[in-house]
C-alpha cells in the first residue's frame, strides 16, 4: 500500500471511530446500530466490518483509544516517581503525585464527555459489555500504581492498605460521577453556574482535596 493509501486508511478509520464514539455515547452499546455509525462516518458498513470485525470489536477500539490517551497523560504524572521511587516515601512528594493524578483524571473526563456517557451506560448496564473486552486493556499503569502505593503505605503515608486497584477505580468513578451528574446538579441548584470555568475549577479543587485528605495518613494520629 502506498503512503497516500495508508493515510486514507487511517483517516477513514479515525472517522469511523469518532462516529462510533458519538453513537455509543448517545445510545449505549446495545442501542447503537452499525448502519447508523456507518451513515454518521460517511463510510460503508462493510468497511467497518473489515476494519473492526463486528460491533463489539468496534466498541473495544473506541475504548482502547480513550484508554491510550488517558494512559499517555497519566504516564507523565507517574514519570517522576518511576524515575526515583524514593519520592513515594516522602509525604509532600507523594501528596503532590496524588493531586496531579486526580487533576489529570478530572480534566481528561471533562474534555471527553462522550467517554463519560459511555462509561455511564456501562455502569447502568452492570458493565456487561466492558467485561467481555476487559482483557484487551493493558495493566502496566495499574501495576505501577500498586507498587508505588505499597511503598507509600509501608512508609506510613496512606491510611489504608485496601486494594490499590479498587482505590484507583473509586477515584476515577468519583470524578466521572460528578461530571455525569452535572445536569442534575444544575436542575437542583439553578442559581449556581456549575458548568462555568470557575464552577468546574471549584468542583475539581474540592474533589482533589477531599480524596487526598481521605487517602493520606494524618501524621499526628497514633499509629496502629
19-63 residue pLDDT tens: 999 999 999 999 999 999 999 999 999 999 999 999 999 999 999
- What is the reported pLDDT for 5? 60
Residue tagged 476494519 (cell numbers): 51
The residue among 185, 189, 205, 207 whose CA lies nearest residue 197 is 205
CB 13 within 8 A of CB 110: no
The mean per-residue pLDDT over the stretch 176-185 comes to 96
pLDDT-based confidence at residue 3 (cuts at 50, 70, 90): low
- The string of DSSP codes covering 24-52 is HHHHHHHH--HHHHHHHHTS-HHHHHHHH
With a pLDDT cut of 70, the percent of the chain lying above it is 95
- What is the reported pLDDT for 8? 76
CB neighbour list of residue 22: distance below 8 Å, 6 or more residues apart: 40, 114
- What is the reported pLDDT for 139? 76
Q: For residue 191, what is its C-alpha cell? A: 442559581
- What is the reported pLDDT for 190? 93
CB 74 within 8 A of CB 39: no
Count the alpha carbons within 13 Å of 204 in the hemisphere toward its beta carbon: 19
* Domains of the chain and any CATH numbers: 1-53 (1.10.10.60), 67-215 (1.10.357)
The mean per-residue pLDDT over the stretch 98-115 comes to 96
Whether the model clears a pTM of 0.75, i.e. scores above it, the answer is yes
Amino acid at each position: 500500500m502506498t503512503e497516500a493509501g495508508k493515510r486514507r486508511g487511517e483517516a477513514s478509520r479515525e472517522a469511523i471511530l469518532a462516529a462510533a464514539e458519538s453513537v455509543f455515547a448517545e445510545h449505549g452499546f446495545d442501542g447503537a446500530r452499525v448502519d447508523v455509525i456507518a451513515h454518521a462516518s460517511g463510510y460503508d458498513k462493510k468497511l467497518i466490518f473489515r476494519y473492526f470485525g463486528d460491533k463489539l470489536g468496534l466498541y473495544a477500539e473506541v475504548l482502547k483509544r480513550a484508554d491510550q490517551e488517558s494512559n499517555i497523560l497519566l504516564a507523565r504524572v507517574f514519570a517522576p516517581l518511576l524515575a526515583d521511587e524514593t519520592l513515594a516515601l516522602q509525604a509532600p512528594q507523594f501528596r503532590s503525585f496524588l493531586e496531579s493524578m486526580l487533576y489529570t483524571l478530572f480534566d481528561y473526563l471533562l474534555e471527553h464527555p462522550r467517554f463519560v456517557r459511555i462509561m455511564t451506560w456501562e455502569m447502568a448496564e452492570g458493565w456487561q459489555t466492558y467485561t467481555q473486552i476487559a482483557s484487551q486493556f493493558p495493566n502496566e499503569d495499574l501495576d505501577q500504581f500498586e507498587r508505588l502505593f505499597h511503598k507509600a503505605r509501608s512508609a506510613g503515608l496512606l491510611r489504608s492498605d485496601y486494594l490499590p486497584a479498587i482505590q484507583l477505580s473509586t477515584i476515577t468513578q468519583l470524578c466521572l460521577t460528578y461530571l455525569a451528574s452535572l445536569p442534575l446538579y444544575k436542575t437542583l441548584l439553578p442559581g449556581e453556574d456549575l458548568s462555568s470555568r470557575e464552577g468546574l475549577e471549584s468542583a475539581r479543587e474540592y474533589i482533589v482535596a477531599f480524596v487526598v485528605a481521605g487517602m493520606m495518613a494524618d501524621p499526628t494520629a497514633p499509629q496502629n
